[in-house]
Structure 1
Amino acid sequence: MTKKRRRHTPEQIVKKLRDAEVMPNAGKSMEEVLEMLEVSEATFDRWQNRFGGMKSEEAKRLKELEGENAR
């Protein structure tokens, strides 16, 4: 069974990264965290490199600027 591909908004990504920071402190393993977030390890690492430490407003603005630059 293949999973349906999802697109996450920058706000959703930042929220999931914040949730992922708390879960290991609650005794969750990395595999359990990734399963709960429904993402692969590669996706999680990419998100951390790109959005790590940002607030959702900053991530939204970054996405807008990238769209402007692409035009």
Structure 2
Amino acid sequence: MRKSRFSEEQIISILAEQERGMSTSEVCRRHGMSSATFYKWKAKFGGMDVSDARRLKTLETENARLKKLLADSMLDNSILKDLLGKS
């Protein structure tokens, strides 16, 4: 997946501009992004502050690491079951 050119802090400040009264189309034009991207960000980061976004990023990273560990463990378990079944 492509990395965003905006950091979480920048995204939150862009959303705050719209919340302060600037129109959505003006915010999108000013920052060079589509309205679909704006609304996707609003769904994910709406109502957050910078510390919440950092915490979310940390939790997402930890969740991905734990999912990988679980997948590796399940693969090892499956291999051991196959070996024991064929003996």
> What is the TM-score when the length of structure 1 is the normalising length?
0.75
Q: C-alpha root-mean-square deviation of aligned residues, in Å?
A: 1.8
1:30 aligns with 2:20: no
TM-score (norm 2): 0.63
% identity of equivalent residues: 44
Q: Which has the higher contact order (CA 8 A, sep 6+)?
A: 1
CA distance in 1, matches of 2:43, 2:24: 17
- With 54-63 and 5-14 compared, the bigger mean Cα shift is at 5-14
Structure number with higher helix proportion: 2
The verdict on how the C-alpha distance between 1:37 and 1:50 changes in structure 2, with shifts beyond 3 A counting, is: same
Larger Rg: 2
The count of residues paired between Structure 1 and Structure 2 equals 63
5+ residue gaps, structure 2: 66-87
4+ residue runs over 3 A deviation: none
Instruction: Please give the alpha-carbon distance, in whole angstroms, between the structure 2 residues aligned to 1:44 and 1:21.
Output: 12
Alpha carbons of structure 1 residues 12 and 30: separation in structure 2 relative to 1, 3 Å: closer
Distance 2:10 2:52 in 1: 13
